Amino acid sequence: MKRFLRSFGGVLFTAVVLGCMVLLFLLCRAPAFEGGEGYTFYLGKSSSALTVHTDAPVRAKLLLGDVKGESTVYSGDRYEELKEKYRAKLLFTETVGGVTSYYLHSPFLGAGIKLGGKTVNLQIAVSAEQTAVGTPLIFGGF
């Protein structure tokens, strides 16, 4: 009986460790942003070499492999909410054609890219109608 209990304990311990590893893997592969109207992943060496648009970002990110960036769009102005959620530090802004782009760094996102000597890993672009957010940047048009 003791042998059985020890064997069962070993099997149970192994199952718990494997379960934790799977959970950690899934958490690391979770999309950077929640909700939004559509979701875009950037793949390839230049981050914008290939784009994949999806309405199922969790499944897509698990299946895509080496994702270099991601973005989504929200209705209205969500700048303050997103900045606070990612505890991001504003590095600089630019306004072009009625769109204000905020370039930030968040401790919760990847390494980022160098722009103007600063490491940017979060871009939030706000227009009168919507907010686009991307990591490390929003590639393509907004």
Asked if the model's pLDDT at residue 121 lies above 80, the reply is yes
pLDDT of the residue at 111:
85
Give the 3-state secondary structure of residue 13: helix
Q: Which residue has the higher pLDDT, 11 or 28?
A: 11
Asked if the model's pLDDT at residue 17 lies above 50, the reply is no
- Residue 101's CB is within 10 A of a number of other CB atoms, namely 17
pLDDT of the residue at 49:
67
Give the 3-state secondary structure of residue 14: helix
What's the count of helices (H) and strands (E) in the chain, helices before strands?
3, 9
Question: Average pLDDT in the 95-106 region?
Answer: 96
pLDDT of the residue at 51:
82
Q: Is residue 78 part of a domain?
A: yes
Q: Is residue 21 part of a domain?
A: no
CB-based contact 32:49 (threshold 8 Å): no
Question: Average pLDDT in the 72-86 region?
Answer: 96
Q: Is residue 96 part of a domain?
A: yes
Asked if the model's pLDDT at residue 73 lies above 50, the reply is yes
Taking the model in full, what pTM does it have?
0.75
Nearest to 135 by CA among 96, 98, 85: 85
Q: Is residue 141 part of a domain?
A: no
Report the distance separating Cα 31 and Cα 121, nearest Å: 15
Q: Provide φ and ψ at 100, rounded to 5°.
A: -100, 125
Beta bridge partners of 26: none
Q: Percentage of residues in the chain with pLDDT exceeding 70?
A: 73
Q: Is residue 38 part of a domain?
A: yes
DSSP character at residue 86: T
What is the count of structural domains for the chain?
1
Cis upstream peptide for 136 (omega within 30°): yes
Q: Is residue 80 part of a domain?
A: yes
Tokens of 52: 């994949």
Structural domain span for residue 56: 31-135
Mean pLDDT over the full length of the chain: 80
pLDDT of the residue at 50:
81
Q: Which residue has the higher pLDDT, 43 or 76?
A: 76
Q: Is residue 115 part of a domain?
A: yes
Tokens of 130: 């919507």
pLDDT of the residue at 133:
96
Asked if the model's pLDDT at residue 24 lies above 60, the reply is no
pLDDT of the residue at 48:
53
Q: Is residue 40 part of a domain?
A: yes
Nearest to 70 by CA among 100, 40, 95: 40
